[in-house]
Structure 1
Amino acid sequence: MVFLSWTRPSPAQQKACIHRSEGFNYDPKYQGASSQPLSSSNKEKLTKNGFFLNHSRILLGSGPQTFHNAKTALQTWRHLALNWAFVDPKTSIEVGTKFCICVKELLPWVMLPLQVSSVVNDSSNSVGRRGHKGATFGFVSGTLHGHLLAGEECFSIELDEDNQVWYEISSFSKPAHFLSFIGYPYVKLRQKYFAHQSTQSILKHITAQPVAT
């Protein structure tokens, strides 16, 4: 089962995709692994089971205002507001929410169903050596039946104790359909390209915000 559209998917098409998708299409024992620091043993376990690991961590700037703007970007799906991919920006980031990532690949659009499996919204009480408090906002989404891949992805924004703001993407995935088996080398390159494009979209959102006075 693959969800395709020859034109940009409408809200009705996305709703139908979500309705027809079932539960997670990967082993429950791996759920949440993308949000945890991957030790050597965990990396080995995932790779032995056929998963490809992808990770990027990019400095966005510094200060609470940058963190707030970046968090807002994530909450409104600006990190997926691309020419070739999008998510309905009204989608709520809550545990259990199902949604579609709509991706333009060659001729048709592909609708990829996922579900938010965990959310982190933490303001730390610890203070770093420069007197700054840390904070983190992020969420994990897992692939559902009907997705071309099996696995999950974690997006997060962190204000560290040195007052620096980071955007982090962690994922593990493997093919879940013969189309993705055939084109998986391309898929892996596309994931790297997405990390760059997603970061640029968030930075564009941050720089467009008015400076607090």
Structure 2
Amino acid sequence: MSTLTYPEVGTTRLGPLPDGYHHLHHRAVVGRGRADFEAAGTAVTEWRMHRASGARVNASAARADTGTTVEVSIGLGPLRLSAPCEIVWTAYEKDRTGFAYGTLPGHPERGEESFVVELADDGRVWFTVMAFSRPASWYTRLAGPLVPVVQHWYARRLGASLRRIVPAVRRAGHAGY
């Protein structure tokens, strides 16, 4: 296992989020019914959601599993920002699927972020991003209050990307685990 850059490992699973960090919580409906839930879970845990949002993903496994390392990067050329992470927990449950990754050395932030899909009793499929973070590099410290704005924008983008690709994943028959 790699060296995570923060001590509160696994906190996004059940909360509460730790003090001393910026907190992010975004929740959006991305579908309806069991088939959409399974498709959304597949899209989240097989990196499809991140890729559909425009991020590059280089993972040590095709599917999220505890201990998997993943580098998510955005931007172009010399302006590409890379974020090395490690999966710290996963959930492959009847009505809840997702994972959280924690930051590794070289990540511009310190903290943890989870991506979870849940099937509610009313049939709605919810996608939730929960995170806690603080700057780990000079440029995120310099960006100051802009960083949480960008993080929230990216969480909304992930939700919109997931909502858009769920029907395609479902039709392709890749919704099973």
TM-score bucket of the superposed structures, by smaller chain = 0.7 to 0.9
Q: Equivalent residues in 2 for 1:63-142 (5 A)?
A: 63-82=33-52, 84-88=54-58, 91-104=62-75, 107-123=78-94, 135-142=95-102
Q: Equivalent residues in 2 for 1:1-213 (5 A)?
A: 22-27=2-7, 30-38=8-16, 43=17, 46-47=18-19, 49=20, 51-82=21-52, 84-88=54-58, 91-104=62-75, 107-123=78-94, 135-208=95-168, 209-210=170-171
In structure 1, distance between residues paired with 2:54 and 2:42: 21
Summarize the Cα distance change of 1:52–1:180 in structure 2 as closer, same or farther, 3 Å threshold: same
Summarize the Cα distance change of 1:83–1:195 in structure 2 as closer, same or farther, 3 Å threshold: closer
CA drift of 1:106 comes to 8.9
AA matched with 1:31 = V
Secondary structure (helix, strand or coil) at the match of 2:3 reads: coil
Q: Which has the higher contact order (CA 8 A, sep 6+)?
A: 2
In structure 2, distance between residues paired with 1:115 and 1:86: 16
Structure 2 residues not aligned, in runs of 5+: none
CA drift of 1:37 comes to 3.9
Kept after mapping to 1: 8 A contact 2:98/2:117 = yes
Structure 1 residues not aligned, in runs of 5+: 1-21, 124-134
Identity, % of aligned positions: 25
Secondary structure (helix, strand or coil) at the match of 1:96 reads: coil
AA matched with 2:31 = G
Kept after mapping to 2: 8 A contact 1:34/1:171 = yes
AA matched with 2:89 = S
AA matched with 2:102 = G
Kept after mapping to 2: 8 A contact 1:91/1:99 = no
How many residue pairs get aligned? The number is: 171
RMSD after superposition: 2.3
Q: Which residue of 2 aligns with 1:7?
A: none
TM-score under structure 1 normalisation? 0.73
In structure 2, distance between residues paired with 1:163 and 1:83: 25
AA matched with 2:104 = L
Q: Which has the larger radius of gyration?
A: 1
Q: Spell out, residue by residue over 1:160-187, the C-alpha distance to the aligned partner (whole angstroms, 9 max, x if none).
A: 2222210000000000111110013221
Q: Spell out, residue by residue over 1:83-133, the C-alpha distance to the aligned partner (whole angstroms, 9 max, x if none).
A: 65221376431111111011217952122110001111111xxxxxxxxxx
